[in-house]
Amino acid sequence: MGRPPLIHRSPMPGLGISMGITLTMLSLVVLLPIGALLLKGATFGLGNIWDVVNSERTWAALFLSFRLSLFAALFNLVFGVMLAWVLVRYRFPGRRLLDAAVDLPFALPTAVAGIALTALYAPNGAFGQLAAEIGWRIAYTQYGIFLALVFVGLPFVTRTVQPVIEEIEREVEEASATLGASRAYTIRRVILPMLTPAALTGFALSLARAVGEYGSVIFIAGNIPLVTEIAPLLIVIQLEEFDYDAAAAIGIAMLVISFAMLLAINLIQVWSRRRIGYV
């Protein structure tokens, strides 16, 4: 009698079931909606999609959404990392309260956030009046949109970078100092390379959230066509007019641009990880 065949068991129990559940949820939540959008665009036709996208109002809305989202994500990248560093490395009164406040945009409904920001930064608001005294207007301008996008995107960077900072041992900085490195050199050549992958992940999450943000923006934007009208609002307008083909066309344009931007960020992440491996 021969030996019984060897059974190769996975080290993870229930891998098949968990993989099946994961793929099913991924299909229901991500793949099927994107596939339905692309199918709607295919039935509409590439020429018709281009006719919808290639209009002054659509280009203005797309340019405004992606430009301000990119600026807000870059702002959050810098100040989100700084905030995470302060929360991890320093102890001061109110630190726990500030740490809890970082998660406020996660829990706060976007419409409520938009109403609150508008009430604060409107010309008759607490901060809006102070800005008006020096000739600035925040609400109902692109500055208000930028402020709303910063508000909803900042926690993504801070919470992504914070665990990495907690794992960086202080001995690494002390060793760099004992070797004669300045504080700026230590941050640039020791700390930042370790934070770069996580910071880029937070940047991508912040950018993705800002591009599709709707509730917190429409109240403070003013929604003036060609000036402060964002692309998600333009999609909603098309849906309210029962022009589903035009709404799908704008959605496909946003999908393509978003995918290109996130792909570029992912390639930068891969390059940064390889660079860290070589150092």
Write down the mean pLDDT value for the chain. Answer: 87
Which pLDDT band holds residue 252 (cuts at 50, 70, 90)? Answer: very high
What tens digit of pLDDT does each residue of 51-110 get?
A: 999 999 999 999 999 999 999 999 999 999 999 999 998 888 988 999 999 998 888 888
Please tell me the predicted confidence (pLDDT) of residue 147. 94
Please give the domain boundaries of the chain with CATH numbers for all domains: 26-278 (1.10.3720.10)
DSSP string, 218-230: HHHH---TTTT--
Percent of the chain with pLDDT over 70: 92
Average pLDDT over residues 141-158: 94
Instruction: Quickly count: other Cβ atoms within 10 Å of residue 22's Cβ.
Output: 10
Please tell me the predicted confidence (pLDDT) of residue 14. 61
What tens digit of pLDDT does each residue of 165-215 get?
A: 988 887 777 787 787 777 787 878 888 888 888 999 999 999 999 998 998
Percent of the chain with pLDDT over 90: 50
CA quadruple 193, 197, 198, 202: dihedral sign: positive
Average pLDDT over residues 12-21: 71
Please tell me the predicted confidence (pLDDT) of residue 3. 60
Please tell me the predicted confidence (pLDDT) of residue 107. 86
In the chain, the N- to C-terminal Cα span, in Å, equals 56
CB under 8 Å, gap of 24 or more: what pairs does 163-170 form? Answer: 163/198, 164/194, 164/195, 164/198, 165/84, 165/85, 165/88, 165/89, 165/195, 166/88, 168/194
Please tell me the predicted confidence (pLDDT) of residue 4. 58
Q: Is the pLDDT of residue 160 over 60?
A: yes
